[in-house]
């Protein structure tokens, strides 16, 4: 099969190559998925799991990409709940070969059915950004209707999902980002927008939940805005500053079939829009994943036309 591989951490995405690899075999509880579309997070090159297996052994050349939408072609021993020919989407294991390839071996529990009226490109854009937003807001942030959310990077892949899901849940959403992100953040549902390069973050006042996708100084200043009993949720590593009277939580997104179902249901009925930028073929994926201009949204690789 065709696959994108990386071998050199220092080279980052520039070190990606399109190669021929053997098709994967299904282990116990796996399915094999013929991938139609694949999603990629640019920071994958910094994750240890891109380079080693769980025992810390070098696993290069490794196939990056952890989001997929496709069709099940084979079941491993003991696999239940999915069938051959079924459309699926989901989140691949961090430590196994990923989804920038024509096929992937993946545990069935990491997948959910993809309804027939949802395009594979849309399906592949949802798992990481959708699940991260869902888990950060509702599991870790315990968001309630009527509360306020400071959604950093509100025009980004995760931020657009955070904004929409928080607003649907009845929260007041303050989005942040660069000056040029204002219109997009408001279009995805933020009630107001703070330009982090020109506005004073402190003018936002106290909030119940900070959803941090940036870290560093922005995170430290945001911690001071968390109300008593509120939460600073970070997806970019442990909080460097903690709210005085609140919680600080950092987490890594996990696959969850029921939550994937909630997310795709909202996409089908128009409550949730994805933030897709460039769509490229697998043959052109190396160039697409090394853009010369700022990305307009999430890059999706359409593996099969």
Q: Which has the closest alpha carbon to 255: 90, 96, 33, 125?
A: 90
| 175 contacts ligand NAP (rule: CB under 6 A) | no
Q: For 242, what's the count of Cα atoms within 13 Å in the CB-facing half-sphere?
A: 9
- Which CB, 95 or 178, lies closer to ligand NAP? 178
Q: Which residues of 23-56 are buried (b: 16+ CB within 10 A; e: fewer)?
A: ebebeebbbbbbbbbbbbbeebbebebbbeeeee
The CB-of-176 to ligand NAP minimum distance in angstroms stands at 7
- Which CB, 146 or 180, lies closer to ligand NAP? 180
* Euclidean distance between the first and the last CA atom of the chain, given in angstroms as a whole number: 16
CA angle 99, 267, 183 (to 5 degrees): 95
Q: How far is CA 255 from CA 138, 159, 243, 266, in A?
A: 15, 19, 28, 18
- Which CB, 19 or 218, lies closer to ligand NAP? 218
- Which CB, 177 or 230, lies closer to ligand NAP? 177
Single out the residue of 37, 150, 151, 157 in contact with ligand NAP (rule: CB under 6 A). 157
* Number of Cβ atoms within 10 Å of the Cβ of 220: 14
| 133 contacts ligand NAP (rule: CB under 6 A) | no
Single out the residue of 35, 207, 239, 253 in contact with ligand NAP (rule: CB under 6 A). 253
| 37 contacts ligand NAP (rule: CB under 6 A) | no
| 153 contacts ligand NAP (rule: CB under 6 A) | yes
| 38 contacts ligand NAP (rule: CB under 6 A) | no
Q: Which residues bind ligand NAP (CB under 6 A)?
A: 41, 43, 128, 132, 153, 155-159, 177-178, 181, 196, 213-214, 218, 235-236, 252-253, 294
């Amino acid at each position: 099969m065709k696959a994108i591989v990386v071998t050199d951490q220092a080279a980052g995405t520039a070190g990606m190559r399109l190669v021929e690899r053997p098709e994967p075999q299904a282990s116990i509880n796996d399915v094999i998925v013929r991938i139609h579309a694949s999603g990629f997070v640019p920071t994958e090159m910094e994750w240890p799991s891109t380079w080693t297996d769980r025992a810390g052994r070098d696993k290069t050349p490794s196939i990056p990409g952890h989001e997929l939408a496709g069709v099940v072609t084979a079941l491993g021993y003991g696999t239940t709940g999915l069938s051959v020919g079924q459309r699926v989407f989901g989140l691949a294991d961090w430590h196994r070969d990923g989804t920038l390839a024509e096929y992937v071996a993946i545990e069935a529990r990491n997948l959910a059915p993809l309804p027939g009226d949802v395009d594979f490109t849309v399906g592949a854009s949802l798992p990481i950004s959708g699940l991260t937003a869902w888990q950060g807001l509702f599991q870790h942030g315990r968001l309630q209707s009527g509360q306020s959310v400071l959604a950093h990077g509100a025009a980004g892949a995760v931020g657009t999902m955070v904004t929409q899901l928080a607003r649907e849940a009845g929260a007041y959403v303050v989005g942040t980002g660069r000056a040029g992100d204002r219109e997009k953040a408001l279009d995805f549902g933020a009630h107001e927008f703070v330009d982090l390069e020109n506005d004073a973050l402190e003018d936002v006042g106290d909030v119940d939940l900070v959803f941090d996708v940036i870290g560093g100084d922005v995170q430290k200043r945001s911690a001071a805005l968390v109300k008593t009993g509120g939460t600073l949720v970070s997806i970019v590593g442990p909080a460097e500053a903690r709210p005085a009277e609140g919680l600080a939580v950092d987490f890594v997104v996990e696959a969850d079939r029921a939550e994937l179902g909630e997310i795709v249901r909202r996409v089908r009925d128009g409550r949730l829009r994805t933030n897709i930028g460039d769509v490229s073929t697998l043959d052109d994926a190396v160039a697409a994943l090394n853009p010369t201009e700022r990305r307009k949204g999430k890059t999706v690789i359409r593996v099969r036309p």
